[in-house]
Amino acid sequence: MALCVSVAVDDIISRIDKPYDYVVPSRFADKIQAGMRAIVPFSRNNISKKALVLELFEKEDVSGLKELIDLFDSEVVVDYMRLKLVRLLKKRYFVTYYSALKTVVPRGVDFRIDEFYVPTVPLENISEPLCTLFEKKRGRVRKSDVPTKLRTVFDRCVFEGILQKDVYGSSGGQCEKRLFLNIPKGDVERVMTELGPHSEKQRDLMAVFLDSDEMSEKDALYYSGCGKSTVSTLLKKGIIGVKKTPVEHDPYKDIPRAYDSTPIKLTDAQLAVYSEILNDMGGVTHLIHGVTGSGKTLVYMSLIDKVLSRGKSVIFMVPEISLTPQTLARFYSRYGDSVAVIHSGLAPAARADEWRRVRRGDARVVVGTRSAVFSPAENLGMIIIDEEHEPSYKSESAPRYHARDIAGFISRSAGVPLVLGSATPSVESRYRAQTGAYKYHRLDTR
């Protein structure tokens, strides 16, 4: 029996969008899980494409199946709940599997496919112009790097197996180059003295590591006054190493943080609504119909306090027009760095950073607009949608989902309450409250 996977393939038309089966190479057998992303050969031309692993299964006869090329993720990116969301978006809103995935996972978490050609024989056995090109590119060449005059020779080498294609995925996020010592720190001064008389720049660059084992390449070059050629020289000598680390982005770093644990004082009417919701914390939808100024926000924050005290997370959604610095300041002042902000106006890298913080469990209060409903909140305890009647909760581009409907699906699937609030509830919500599908709560006093 061979381990196989069903995957959804990126960048294909709806007519052929369906799960495709591939054999899992033995090197990935202990790592691969549903919800990871991979690279697969697709179509007769074996074009390398991104894919989402939908499920794993075993099959005896795999003679007609191709092998998966590479596994990009080391851990699950789309958990069981969000795989269900991917299937829901495809079925209900008529988009492809991978388009649904791009809605659930922010663009900054995406990856790109890199294809390099590497020689299978010693470089000296390749024609001289190609050999020079491979030496210049450190043994790996993209097809786009090959000059037109060398294309014929290059294609022949590929056909004869002298050159082999190496395919893998690389992160599309913004990264920072960091330099680190590859030798014991106590040996730095000794190595500096052993360098030749014309190695002054190398000594200058090594000097910045006397106080630090690691720093960004940008800082190292600034403090040493050296250029990148000096970095390359020390890299070749093995004195320093280089690595890439994701750059953290925080567009709201100027908003003060605090952890205000002062109990919120509720009026009798607010306390009644708060208690009724706490007494029914299953996959139930509650509609708070409260006039403007009746204190719905105080009820929301009291509910958030209670959910957090139980070790769970909350998704709090507001219309786009309400996501102001003043609104965020209110949450930051009470929950500090436990707040993550997710909305479509963020740069892809910043949005990806917030998404990762939520996924790691570093942020347990997610504040955002409609796209925040897809946040991978760890141990979700409640979803709250303020001003639920606002039209901005409906996406104007494919998939044309309504955040309230997606939140309802998550609420029922995860068994957590969904709280809707408005001074003027939508017709749909008011009707569902009247028919008993929603629990109805009223706040009449300003």
On whether the CB atoms of residues 319 and 393 are closer than 8 A, the answer is: yes
- Determine the 3-state secondary structure of 323 from DSSP: coil
Half-sphere exposure (CA, 13 Å, Cβ side) for 190?
A: 5
**Residue 189 host element (H or E):** helix 188-194
- Determine the 3-state secondary structure of 74 from DSSP: coil
Instruction: Order the strands of the 313-317 sheet from edge to edge.
Output: 339-342, 365-368, 313-317, 380-386, 418-422, 285-290, 439-443
Pairing type for strands 111-119 and 418-422 reads: unpaired
Helical segments of 336-437, H only: 348-360, 403-414, 427-434
Whole-number Å distance between alpha carbons of 303 and 386: 13
Instruction: Order the strands of the 20-23 sheet from edge to edge.
Output: 20-23, 2-9, 47-59, 37-42, 70-71
**pLDDT per residue as tens, the chain (446 positions):** 899 999 999 999 999 999 999 999 999 999 999 999 999 999 998 899 999 999 999 999 998 899 999 999 888 999 999 999 999 999 999 999 999 999 999 888 888 888 888 888 887 778 788 888 888 777 788 888 888 888 888 888 888 888 888 886 766 555 678 898 888 888 888 888 888 888 888 998 988 888 788 888 888 888 888 888 888 888 888 888 888 776 666 667 767 787 888 889 999 999 999 999 999 888 999 999 999 989 999 999 999 999 999 999 999 999 988 888 888 989 999 999 899 999 988 888 888 889 999 999 999 999 999 999 999 998 999 999 999 999 999 999 889 999 999 999 999 999 999 999 999 999 999 999 999 999 999 999 88
Whole-number Å distance between alpha carbons of 87 and 81: 10
Whole-number Å distance between alpha carbons of 350 and 246: 11
- Measured in whole angstroms, the distance separating CA 138 from the mean position of its chain's CA atoms is 31
DSSP-derived letter for residue 387 is: T
What local confidence, expressed as pLDDT, does residue 133 receive?
84
DSSP-derived letter for residue 81 is: H
Whole-number Å distance between alpha carbons of 443 and 421: 10
Distances in whole angstroms, Cα of residue 99 to Cα of each of 75, 80, 82: 21, 18, 13
On whether the CB atoms of residues 3 and 58 are closer than 8 A, the answer is: yes
